[in-house]
Structure 1
């Protein structure tokens, strides 16, 4: 995965033989931090699993570009003040959501792969060219 905001890249195995690797998850937490203020929070492994499963379904070698992972309350409030599309109680606040992009796949293709996982929320943001994936209730929105 490539962090489009910080320029960092992460490519790792975070799960082996039915066990998550603690050190790898710490790296994921740091990688998916709130890039605006550097705050780090635990990223829900279900969100990582959904993004990984969707990536595998699309059979791509290109890493995701991370647009947004964890968001601090301050960042979420700032984004809400600038956009009507930011939820007050966004799952980004709990480290349970990721906004992702692939240059080799359309928003529609990415959203279809994420929805096929039947494991969380999938939002299509075609105008901004990214897909929101979260581990909340199964639902979808956007176009």
Structure 2
């Protein structure tokens, strides 16, 4: 059901109107941690899946509240594309991704390489690569592997590290960055 405001706008339309202000209010590296603690009135995430071709550009937080419909869309978008299984993504990871994108001052959506991974998918990938952790945070919905054409893995990693909110892995050879909401740490793969 689509709810309308008194002015006749749908909630989705209202959220879209906030999108311009979200970009204009992008935090600087110096206040990245404040953004994650709730200093941002509007949070937006944009990404596309390299595997399914699906695109997502949504405002998922307004004035201290997550928007359930947008969070559901994020969960489906970040599903294990091999099995079709989706889980509740840890919103801390989404916040790190959104804050990092704002810090890089780009409107380019992330290319999502991997979000949630089922245990079966993770086990299969770990037999192919030594870089896949057996107890990966991807299996808990707490990690994402991302790429931007307009930014290097070093630039992406630096933005994520500025958030001081989780793990950041830089993979320059494969041109992607891993972001998660686990313990604060960094590595180069």
Post-superposition CA distance 1:21-75 (Å, at most 9, x none): 0111010000000001101111000000000000000000100000000000000
**Post-superposition offset of 1:115:** 0.3
Trace 1:62-73 onto structure 2 (pairs within 5 A): 62-73=108-119
**Post-superposition offset of 1:20:** 0.2
The residue number in structure 2 matching 1:131 is 177
Trace 1:43-122 onto structure 2 (pairs within 5 A): 43-122=89-168
TM-score, normalization: structure 1? Answer: 0.99
CA distance in 1, matches of 2:51, 2:164: 29
Unaligned stretches of 5+ in structure 1? Answer: none
Runs of 4+ in 1 over 6 A off after TM superposition: none
The residue number in structure 1 matching 2:73 is 27
Give aligned pairs, total: 143
Unaligned stretches of 5+ in structure 2? Answer: 1-46
**Post-superposition offset of 1:4:** 0.8
Q: Which has the higher helix share?
A: 2
